[in-house]
Structure formats: C-alpha cells, structure tokens
Chain A
Amino acid sequence: MNDPVDVLIIGAGASGAAVAWSLADTKMHILCLDQGGWMNPAEYPSTGRDWEAKFYGEWSSSPNVRGRPEDYPINDDNSPIKVVNYNAVGGSTVMYTAHWPRLHPSDFKVKTLDGVADDWPIDYDTLTPFFEENDRMMGTSGLSGDPLSPLSHPPMPQQPMGLSGAMIGKAMNKLGWHWWPSDTTVATMDYEGRARCINLGHCTPACAQGAKASTDITYWPHAIRAGVELRTHCRVREVTTDEDGMASGVVYYDKDGVEQFQPAHVVIIACNGVGTPRLLLNSVSGKFPNGLANSSGLVGKNLMFHPYAQIYGYVQEPTDANRAPPTCLWSKEWYDTDLSRGFVRGYGVQFVRGAGPVFEAVVSEQKGILPWGADHHRVFRKLNGHRIGFSAICEDLPEEHNRVTLDPMLKDSHGIPAPKIDYTISENSRKMMEHGLARGREVLETMGATDICTNSPIPWGGWHLLGTARMGTDPERSVVNEWGRSHDVKNLFIVDGSIFVTSGGVNPTSTIQALALYIADQMKQRLANLFD
C-alpha cells in the first residue's frame, strides 16, 4: 500500500494545477494523479507538414475520435453537442483557444437580476484577487479598459489586430456595436520562460512555441519545485470512504495497469464537468449507494455546454487565415438580458480570423460550396484565405434533464464505466442562437462577405463542461458548499467547472481557475478546522 498523503488531487488540468500550486505553500504532502502524461511540444502538430491532417486523427479535440490510451470514451450520441477535451498534464489547457474572458459580475446573480436559475453563493468581487493572481500565473495578454467587460490587468499587450481584426473592427464600428481585443493566454512577449507568440497558426491543438499557456508549462513547474508530487498515467477508478463517511483515499490503476490504493486525508477532484460526476457516480458504497457526495441527487445533473452559434463568410480581401491565433477580438454587445430580444440572458462573441487550406477545403466541400471537378480550383482560390467568422457563445441555463450518467455498456480501457451524456438545447438557447446568427450575418454583410455558412450549434463544440456538481449553501440543492467542500463528505472538495451554478456567456477557464485558487485559499484559512 502507498503511504498516506495529506492532500490528493485528481486531475492535473486547469483547476488541479492551480489548486496544487496554491496549496504547496502549506508544505503538506500533496500528490496529484493524472490519467495522462507529460506532453512533448516537439511532437505538436505545428511542427509537421501534416499539421492540419492531425486534427482529424490523433489530435482531434474529441476523445472518441482521438482514442489515445490516456483518453476515456464518452457516449454522447444523445446530444447535439459532442464533448471535446484533452487528457494529459495540463488537461484541456493543452487544447483550447486561449480565449480568456471572465464571467461578469451579473453572471453570479442571475436569479436576482433575471429570475432564472440560481444565484451563486459567492460573487464576482470575492474572486477578483484570484482572477488577478491567475492572470499573472497563466500569463495573459490583452488591453485593459474594455468598457463592457470586467476590469483586468493583463501583464502583456494584446495580440496584433492583423488583417482580420481590422476588418471586424471597421464593420463593428459601422454598425455601432461593441468590440474589443480579447484577453488571451497567448504570450505576446517573452514571459516567465515562455517565448512570445510567433503566429504558428491555429494554436488550439497545443503550441509548439510554448507561447500559449497550458498548465503543464505554467503552474506545474512551480508546483513541483514547491514539493508537489505529480504521478502520471494513473487513472482513478473511485474515491473510497471510511466507516465515518469520510474520504479515505482512491483506487487507481497505475501506468502498468496495476490496481493501487492511495490513502489520503483530503481528496480534491479536478476532473472537469464530465469526469468529476463520472468519478463520483462510480464511487458507490453501502453508505453512498447513489454515488459519492450525491445526497442531493444532483451529481451529473444540470450539465451546461455553451451552445455555439457560428456564422462565417468570405470577403474579397485576404484574411489572416491560419497565420495567427484563431481568435483575437470579442464583443459583449449582447451579453446582458434584453427581453425585447425574446430570450433571457445573453451571449459573448468571439471573432474568428480564418482557416488553413486543408480545413478550408474539407469543410467547404462538406458544406457544398466547393465543387468537384474543373471549377474546383477557381472556387477554392476564392475561399481560401478569405474566411472570417463570428461565434456567439450562448449562456446555457441549468436544466436537470441535461446530465451525465454512467453508460451501462461502454467502459474505458481499465473497465471503468464510461460517462453518458443526455443533453438538449433549450428553447431559450435556440432563440439566443438565432439572434446571434442574425447579428453575425449583419456583421459579415457589412464586410461584404459572401457564401455565408452556419454551424449552429457547432457539433464538436462541447468544450465547456459545467454545472454537474454545483455549489450552493443548501445541501438539498447543491453538491458542494460555497467554498468547494462536499456537503456530504467533509474532506472531499471539487474545484473544476462542475461546480458552476450558471454558465455565463463566455469561455470559462479563467473563472474555473480563479475558483480553484479561491477554494485553495479558503482551505488554507480553515486548516485548523477544515472538517468542521
């Protein structure tokens, strides 16, 4: 049997890395287990001529397509939005767009403001110092002073506007609509050992330059130097409990597939909004027959994705295509509730600079705008390098029927039941998506774009996995309390996106990490009576 540790963290991604680093200064024995391994930037797609082809195989954003040994299958047949993620040290920060908005203050008070869903048990101001700390640790770039976004202080200047950004800015100005350079985690100057961005192109599937922040190159080196132990290729099967109903450790399979028990005094789960409920539901015992921390029955329920309504077209002038990070600007013009639009809440917008030649050819052929035969070349030259896009990130409200359960048949390579997703897009979200497409069309037409196409929702767009172990003060209506501790198991904490009460209308990673740092801080302040 392994020696007991003080704190066991499951998952080395966005939130697991942040909580590990923050707790390291307690000098406790902290161990993190991750089912993946360390990444090798020399093998990242942008180092090869086949960089685009890899997106369709071993570097697909879908674990079902990718099928690496580190991945687990997900049955998402009953969902119009498919789950995408990455399993490695760094988690899905290895494979994300680096777009870095924060939830807005209003996102924490949706019940008070709009009479829907629930308010969070904490507010934006509580998280402000942790947003700032996280921005320093991840290394963000941006332009402070956006009048419609929470105030941030990125330590690096914003990305260049590029050709696409200028077109978007001019069109938005013509329409009188808000836009602003995005905060991103792309380093625009040398920063803490990371080299500045050199525009390798579409940086979503990992950055060979190391300019894009992922926690394997930001938090983890600091955490490990501070004494945190990180054990890779260790897949946790279940959290175990003792006769008092406290977490006693975990059962996991090590890199050789050997079953191990790791005792721990505190267990922190950081496995994302699908992996966390999967683990809790797999942690069944006599005392917890419906899964661990699930007396509310809400583990796995209220899954929120952010349906993406994407519209794009082709302008006469060249765009940045694949010669820049994919996103550069955002808009918050339609972020807050305006009931005259026919829906409650709102959406953020991220503008898309363009696409590479293979992606352009494959997608346009599928859309039916790129013909086979003699006219192929003429049409391709009209499309390639001329694409520009608009994506509305629609706030998904919590609904209990949108959920993660355990699939009765599907299992991973260790025989652990796989997650099953049941999800539908709400009528409110549909109206929001239609509104976003209509506004996007106006923007594109203002630019003179033609051959306009839509993806609504983006089918492989389940990047944001939220809400399946929500936080709250009422144990009957939430899974963890206002500082991330399970209501049922007093030495069990959850720090990932599953604790979101509502989703906001922006990419959530910045807020996920701020929450993880906040929970770590709460734990440190309460060490003497952590289990009271």
Chain B
Amino acid sequence: MSVATELTSAQRADLRTIAAMIVPASDEYKVPGADDPVIQADMLATLGRDTAPVAQALDHLAKLAGMPLAELEPARRDAVAQEFRASGGAAAATLVRVVLQCYYRDDRVLRSLGIEARAPFPKGHVLPEGDWSLLDPVRARGGTLRRAT
C-alpha cells in the first residue's frame, strides 16, 4: 500500500465536510466553521507528517459513507460521523486533532475567545503575584521531616 503524500480532491471535500461537523460556524459567537477556506488552507499546508493518517481516516470515512459525505442526507451524515469517530482509531483521532489545532489558532477564533492572536514569545504574559499570606496556615501547622535517625 502506498503512503499518501497529499490528499485527493475527494478526500479534501470530505475533510471540509467533516470539519464543519466537528466545529460549525456560529453567528452567536461570530466565528467561522472549521470548513472555512482559510482554516482549510492552513490544514492542507501544514499536514506534513499527519498526511498519511489523515488520508487513512478519510478513506475509512468514505467507506462508511459510500458517497461524498456532503451528499448524504443530514441524519445519515450524523450517523456516519459518529461511527467514524467510534471506529476510526488513531487515524480518526489524528484527523480531529488536525482540524482542532488549525481551528484554534485562527485569528478570528482566538479573538472571539479573548485571546491575543500571536506567538507567546517575545511578549509573554503578566501573572498576578497573589497574596502569599495564604501560606500563613501552612506555616502555623508546621511539620517535621521524617528521618531514619
């Protein structure tokens, strides 16, 4: 069996469909779905070492659906998706992870969550020092270290 180095157009279509089933767009939260073209482009551009398991997962999905996922009627599509997640093993988990890791680094999504859309370095974050008098009861209780002699 050859190892997939890129996804076929049919696999891409199913990836788009299943991604939207995992994370749909929301007007309430003002966020795109994971089938958004920018997010899909990020997935395809960064698949890298995940290409083979994702292709394997999509092959499994295609077998379960028997036709392009998007063409199934909604109830059947939901049933196939559930069966896919339950029976897809490590490959399905990889596909879901790829969808989520690209979705949750999208600028629009991060903004909606109140997270700055940036790398952690070099700005970092500020952490409150806290009230160390909280340790007073621990100090008051004290204690001793167990020793052999």
Binding site for B on A (CB under 8 A): 44, 46-53, 56-57, 104-106, 108-109, 112-113, 119, 123, 143, 145, 147-150, 159-163, 165-166, 169-170, 172-173, 176, 178-181, 197-201, 208-209, 320, 322-324, 336, 357-358, 361-362, 365-366, 372-374, 376-377, 381, 384-385
Q: Is the CB of A49 within 8 A of B105?
A: yes
Given contacts A147-B138, A170-B134, contact A377 B28 (CB under 8 A): yes
Q: Is the CB of A200 within 8 A of B124?
A: yes
Q: Mark B111-149, 1 if CB is under 8 A from A, else 0.
A: 001010111111111111111101101110111111110
Q: Is the CB of A161 within 8 A of B125?
A: no
Q: Is the CB of A199 within 8 A of B125?
A: yes
Residue in B103, B124, B148 whose CB lies within 8 Å of A198: B124
CA distance A56 to B54 in the complex (A): 14
CB distance from B42 to the nearest CB of A (A): 9
Q: Does B24 contact A (CB under 8 A)?
A: yes
Report A-chain residues with C-beta under 8 Å of the C-beta of B69: none
- In the complex, the chain B residue whose C-beta lies closest to that of A108 is B148
Report B-chain residues with C-beta under 8 Å of the C-beta of A49: 105, 117-119
Report B-chain residues with C-beta under 8 Å of the C-beta of A105: 145-148
Residue in A166, A169, A357 whose CB lies within 8 Å of B115: A357
Q: Is the CB of A324 within 8 A of B147?
A: no
Q: Is the CB of A178 within 8 A of B138?
A: yes
Q: Is the CB of B135 within 8 A of A180?
A: yes
Report A-chain residues with C-beta under 8 Å of the C-beta of B121: 44, 46-47, 200, 208-209
Q: Does B89 contact A (CB under 8 A)?
A: no
Q: Does B44 contact A (CB under 8 A)?
A: no
Residue in A159, A173, A322 whose CB lies within 8 Å of B137: A173
Residue in A104, A172, A179, A208 whose CB lies within 8 Å of B146: A104
Report B-chain residues with C-beta under 8 Å of the C-beta of A162: 127-128, 130
Binding site for A on B (CB under 8 A): 21-24, 26, 28-29, 31, 46, 48-50, 81, 85, 93, 96-97, 100-105, 110, 113, 115, 117-132, 134-135, 137-139, 141-148
CA distance A336 to B145 in the complex (A): 9
Q: Is the CB of B21 within 8 A of A324?
A: no
Report B-chain residues with C-beta under 8 Å of the C-beta of A336: 146
Residue in B29, B119, B148 whose CB lies within 8 Å of A113: B148
Which are the 10 A-B pairs with shortest beta-carbon distances?
A: A161-B130, A198-B124, A109-B148, A323-B125, A147-B143, A199-B125, A200-B120, A46-B120, A169-B134, A106-B146
Q: Is the CB of B130 within 8 A of A53?
A: no
Report A-chain residues with C-beta under 8 Å of the C-beta of B93: 366
CA distance A162 to B101 in the complex (A): 26
Residue in B101, B127, B134, B143 whose CB lies within 8 Å of A56: B101
Q: Is the CB of A179 within 8 A of B138?
A: yes
Q: Is the CB of A147 within 8 A of B24?
A: no
Q: Is the CB of B145 within 8 A of A150?
A: yes
Residue in B127, B138, B145 whose CB lies within 8 Å of A324: B127
Q: Is the CB of A165 within 8 A of B130?
A: yes
Q: Is the CB of B148 within 8 A of A106?
A: yes
- In the complex, the chain A residue whose C-beta lies closest to that of B118 is A49
- In the complex, the chain A residue whose C-beta lies closest to that of B129 is A160
Report A-chain residues with C-beta under 8 Å of the C-beta of B104: 52, 357-358, 361
Report A-chain residues with C-beta under 8 Å of the C-beta of B127: 159-160, 162, 199, 320, 323-324
CA distance A150 to B128 in the complex (A): 27
If over half of A's interface residues share one DSSP class (helix, strand or loop), that class is named, otherwise mixed; here it is: loop
A-B contacts, 10 of them at CB < 8 A, read A49-B118, A109-B148, A166-B131, A169-B130, A173-B134, A176-B137, A357-B113, A361-B100, A361-B104, A365-B100
CB distance from B23 to the nearest CB of A (A): 5
Report B-chain residues with C-beta under 8 Å of the C-beta of A46: 119-121
Given contacts A147-B143, A376-B22, contact A199 B105 (CB under 8 A): no
Report B-chain residues with C-beta under 8 Å of the C-beta of A108: 148
Q: Is the CB of B101 within 8 A of A362?
A: yes
- In the complex, the chain B residue whose C-beta lies closest to that of A165 is B130
CB distance from B53 to the nearest CB of A (A): 11
CA distance A198 to B23 in the complex (A): 33
Q: Is the CB of B46 within 8 A of A373?
A: no
Report A-chain residues with C-beta under 8 Å of the C-beta of B24: 373-374, 376
CA distance A466 to B96 in the complex (A): 35
Given contacts A361-B104, A365-B100, A374-B24, contact A147 B147 (CB under 8 A): no
Q: Is the CB of A50 within 8 A of B105?
A: yes
Q: Is the CB of B105 within 8 A of A53?
A: yes
Given contacts A106-B148, A109-B148, A147-B144, contact A384 B125 (CB under 8 A): no
Residue in A57, A209, A384 whose CB lies within 8 Å of B49: A57
Q: Can you name 14 extra interface pairs (CB under 8 A) apart from A57-B50, A357-B110?
A: A49-B105, A51-B120, A52-B104, A106-B145, A109-B148, A161-B134, A166-B131, A169-B134, A198-B123, A200-B121, A357-B105, A361-B100, A365-B22, A381-B113
CB distance from B123 to the nearest CB of A (A): 8
CA distance A265 to B104 in the complex (A): 55
Q: Is the CB of A160 within 8 A of B130?
A: yes
CA distance A80 to B85 in the complex (A): 23
Q: Is the CB of B125 within 8 A of A112?
A: no
CB distance from A164 to the nearest CB of B (A): 9
Which among A47, A50, A106, A376 has the greatest number of chain B C-beta atoms within 10 A?
A: A376
Report B-chain residues with C-beta under 8 Å of the C-beta of A320: 127
Given contacts A57-B48, A166-B134, A357-B110, contact A199 B101 (CB under 8 A): no
Q: Is the CB of A147 within 8 A of B128?
A: no
CA distance A179 to B93 in the complex (A): 37
Q: Is the CB of B31 within 8 A of A377?
A: yes
- In the complex, the chain B residue whose C-beta lies closest to that of A47 is B121
- In the complex, the chain B residue whose C-beta lies closest to that of A44 is B121
